[in-house]
Structures are given as C-alpha cells and as structure tokens.
Amino acid sequence: MAKDYYKVLGIDRKATAAEIKKAYRKLARKYHPDVNPGNPDAEARFKEIQEAYRVLSDEEKRKQYDTYGFVPDEEGMPAGGAAGRTGWSGPQQDVRVEFHDAGFGGFGDMSEIFEQFFGGAARARRRRPRPQRGQDHELQVEISFEEAVRGTTVSIPLQRQVVCSACGGSGNVGGKVCPACHGAGVVISTERLKVRIPEGVRDGGKVRVAGKGAPGVNGGTPGDLYVRVKVRPHPFFKREGDTIRTTVPITFTEAYLGAEIEVGTIHGPVRTKVPPGTQSGKTFRLRGKGVRNPKTRAYGDHLYTVQIVVPTVISPAGRDVARRVADLYTEDPRAGLPRGL
C-alpha cells in the first residue's frame, strides 16, 4: 500500500505549501544520515520523508495523490506491475507503487539544510540571513624532533561535504537514484592540504592556515584552520625553547689535562675545548648552535654538560694508577660540606 505522506510529514491534509516545506525541513534535519551515521532506521525514515515531500511539494503530484492515494514515479513506470508500462492511466487502487529514492527537492532546499547542519546556530540565521564567518577548525599533527628543528611540510586530509557533481545535487540522474551519492545530493570530498611547518616550531605550537576552516554562511568568509604541532622527543637532544641541551661524557684524563672534543649539535659536530681541571657537571655554551626561533629568526644556543665517566673494568694496574690519582687531591673535596642539618 502507498504510504500516508501527510502522516509521514506529521501534517494536516489541508497543510499549505509553506507548512509542508517547514515540516519537511524540520524532519530532514532530524533524520539526515549525516547526523545519524550508521543508523539504518533514520536512513529509512529520511528516505520516506524525502519521498513524501517530493510528492506533496509538487502541486500536480499532490493533487494526484489526494485523489488516488498514490502517484506513479517520474518516468511513469511504477515499480509494481499492472499500470506500469502504459504509464499513468487512472485509479488503480490495488497497484502497489514504489518510489525510487527521491533525493532532495532541489538544490536550494539542500544547501540550506546543509548550512544548518554544518554552520552551527542556524535558526536565527535562517530568519534573517546575514553573512557569518565560518568556524575555525583545529587539528593536530605529529612530527619528529628533526622535522620541527628543520621545518617540514605536512599533508593533511581535509574532508568536506560537496555537492555531487554527477547529479548536480538533486540526488537523481535520469529519474534514478544517483549512483555517485546514493541520492544524498552530496558527497564527501577529501582534499589533501599541504601545510608548511616553519623551522623551529615548538611542541604545542600552532600554524594558521587562512580560509581552511568551516565554510562561511550566507556568503560569509570561511574560518581558519589551526594545525597544532606535536613534536616527538629526541633521545639525545633536549630542547628548552630555542636552547638545545645535551650531556657529553668525558674521561678523567680529558677533564684533568684538558682536551679538544667533538660535541654533536643539531647543526652537526662542533669541535670544542675542555679546559684543564674541568669539573664533572660543568655546562658550556655553544652560541648560535640551538634552534632557530620561528618569529625572530635568531638561533638559540647549545648547552652541553660534561660528565666524567669512570672506567668500570677494575685491574691491578688500574688500582695503582687510581691510588696515585688520589695523591693529586690536595684537600678533601667534601671539606666544606655541612655534616648535618
């Protein structure tokens, strides 16, 4: 049996065109598949609503429906038998008529609905349309320590709802459900957006991409996209702002006699001198060997802390040497320390 379209839209049989439209919009918003993902009941209901609207919004079809209780589909080929081939031929109450997925009533209706789905606070806007800037979006990308230090380009998949090009947004092609969008009139389009992450970006830093947020409403400008950057830590190089810190092991001999050692920096190895009598834990500065500040474009410093390592292989010869080293201390290194609180 044909459905009661008035009941489907929850309206009176004497409803005006404006009331029908209003009821349809309200229900379409509620049951649209995009607001009910993975809900087959809502999807079925949505199709039913579209079908009812398609008939009742068309003066001619509504008249036929009111008179006969059903309307043949666009091509005059009802899906179910008898009245089929010859097209519309009068009252055939026993003929079951099924409608193909009706799609939206037209692009005008659809764009308005989608504005409301994706544009936020919509009702007030619909009454008094004025340009509204689209919302800003934010998403996160994760990059390596090295990429953050040197700068990189990330490719971000941006999904947008766009009008189906196969059917122009009507949901139908040649009277059949559009195979590209399955009648929705819109498809998801994935755009790969290349975003340049500047040299020196910090963990948690944000890069603004103008105009890539939510689309504007009623001709408003689109919002911006903010790309928040998460930087994976490095096992060796530690970063504090634009400063890089490392720990460099040295031998007792290097510390005592002084030496020229190589210190690894993010810009490559740097040869530097350890002065004679260097204490373990002393920190030295390499100017300009840190991270470039994305704003000032100035390079930070590299601070390295030397740590004297003690040989772990204990040999008789080693014991002799160590005892002789002890003679080098002219005083107790802990002499000045308090012995308690």
Interacting residues toward Zn ion by CB under 5 A: 164, 166-167, 178, 180-181
User: Within 13 Å of residue 45, how many CA atoms lie on the same side as its CB?
Assistant: 19
Q: How far is the CB of 35 from Zn ion (least distance, A)?
A: 19
Q: Compute the Cα dihedral for 113, 115, 119, 123 and give only its sign.
A: negative
Q: Of the candidates 205, 206, 200, 224, which has an alpha carbon nearest to the alpha carbon of residue 214?
A: 224
Nearer to Zn ion, 177 or 274 (CB): 177
Nearer to Zn ion, 167 or 225 (CB): 167
Nearer to Zn ion, 42 or 173 (CB): 173
Do residues 99 and 51 touch, judged by C-beta distance below 8 A?
yes
Q: How far is the CB of 243 from Zn ion (least distance, A)?
A: 56
Do residues 152 and 248 touch, judged by C-beta distance below 8 A?
no
The contacts of residue 313 (CB under 8 Å, 6+ apart) are none
Q: How far is the CB of 210 from Zn ion (least distance, A)?
A: 31
Cα 84 to Cα 5, 63, 90, 99, 221: the distances in Å are 22, 20, 12, 13, 50
Nearer to Zn ion, 166 or 248 (CB): 166
Q: How far is the CB of 183 from Zn ion (least distance, A)?
A: 7
Q: How far apart are CA 146 and CA 231, in angstroms?
A: 9
Q: How far is the CB of 67 from Zn ion (least distance, A)?
A: 32
Nearer to Zn ion, 29 or 176 (CB): 176
